[in-house]
Amino acid sequence: MKCAVLLAVAQLGAGCAIYHPLPLPPAPPLATGLDQLDLAIPAVPGGAPASRVDISRPLEVDQVGLLAILNDPELRAQTGERRLAEATQRQTALLPNPSVSINWEALLGGPGIQPNWSVSMTEDITALITYRRRVRAARAQTAQVKANQLWAQWQVAQNARVLAIDAYWGDQSITLASSEQRLLESDISAVRRAVEARDLDYTALAPLLATAATLDQSLIALQVAHENNWKQLDALLGLAPGVRFAIAPPPEVSMPADLESLIESLPRRRPDLVALQLGYHSADESLRAAILGQFPALALGPIWEQDTTNIRSMGPTATFDVPLFNRNQAQVAQARATRLMLRDQYQARLDTAVGEVRALQSLVTRTRTDIARSRAAADSSGRLARAARDAYRQGNLDQRSLAEYESAALERRLETVSLQRSLAEAQVGLTVLLGIGLPQTTLIFPDEAVKR
């Protein structure tokens, strides 16, 4: 008997959790270069094999998005969220423990010959009735958390790709503006010399100085926006502020030929829509469980008794609630309202998703037309500027008119660059809205990243 008790205690102790400390990090682990980032892209089940981002060459926009998923500090919190959801699911899947009641009464007097005692063991039957529905609801909630995490990864990748596009085209704009600034400074120096030689008066210099001031303000605004883009991109990649790397020219993405079928299949592919569907199914199962929970709380089990006259007995015991006041009405009403709310949210998100796709489709088409027009205008302005400079060198055009031609050519080129940036951003946004071009499963972070 003693050995059996010790064995039972040992078995119970074997399943107990043990405390392990998990200290907070002393400092942010910001990387000072791309080589310090996590570059390994895990394999996708049923999809692409494991690979590694090549940082020896300019990074493509999609590669920047993947690096953001793998290294964004805020996404690291997904590990804890996922484990919490899985732990909640495991807890829901556990059967309720039986309850044991022991009663012992000492014999103080009378005709009895020994103490009175009783032992009973009961199990919560109501919890068993709702068990399957509660487990299904918990599984749907866990899947919903994972789908939401995938959508969060898509959003981070989207932000990183847009910032990479802005960084590339912003650099192009700064290069153009700087080149024009150097030309204008050369023109101003030439006019200053002519004014000092009394070949021109100061009225010829004033328009050039005004144009130079406007160009300086535009260049400063471009540089400030460029620095802000890089600051945000470094933060998404977990890089220290000030880290720079080369970005490859963003490719022009053609409009999907099967756009209508992609829109029709959005509910099956977009993680945010899938997450809302899973939340709805979880609420539906919770409603079923609440309806089953209308039955009175019932606990059944055996009981063993012995009275003071040594008469022994055994039989069933039952404990149940009398549903006079609480018949689970509030839980049923709450579950119904939750299911209705999630249904409405899903419908609203689906409507918004389709509307956004249609709007971006129209924007891409219009922007392509605008780019063609802007390029033609930029080419024409460029030819006029080159002709004006030739005329100036031959003495047939004054300095002020030359500056106006060159300024107009610069504005046209900057307009083309701005439209190309808008087109690239719209195309990247369209891939996310259509649910294409990004991992279809969460990229699980290795446990070694954060010791649990």
Q: Which two tokens stand for residue 440?
A: 């279809």
- CA atoms of 193 and 366, how far apart (whole Å): 48
Rounded percentage of the chain residues whose pLDDT exceeds 70: 92
Does residue 98 register a pLDDT over 70?
Answer: yes
Rounded percentage of the chain residues whose pLDDT exceeds 90: 27
Q: Would you call 23 helix, strand, or coil by DSSP?
A: coil
Identify the pLDDT of residue 449: 40
Q: What is the rounded average pLDDT of the residues 152-180?
A: 91
- CA atoms of 201 and 116, how far apart (whole Å): 123
Chain mean pLDDT for the chain: 84
CATH 1.20.1600.10 for the 31-71+130-293+328-439 domain, yes or no: yes
Identify the pLDDT of residue 3: 52
Do 265 and 273 meet the contact criterion of CB atoms below 8 Å apart?
no
Q: What is the pLDDT of residues 262-309, one digit of tens each?
A: 888 888 888 899 899 999 999 999 999 888 888 777 888 888 888 888
Identify the pLDDT of residue 10: 52
Identify the pLDDT of residue 45: 64
Q: Tokens 């484990």 belong to which residue?
A: 83
- CA atoms of 173 and 161, how far apart (whole Å): 18
Confidence at 231, pLDDT banded by 50, 70, 90: very high
Q: What is the pLDDT of residues 5-42, one digit of tens each?
A: 445 555 555 557 788 888 888 877 788 888 888 888 88
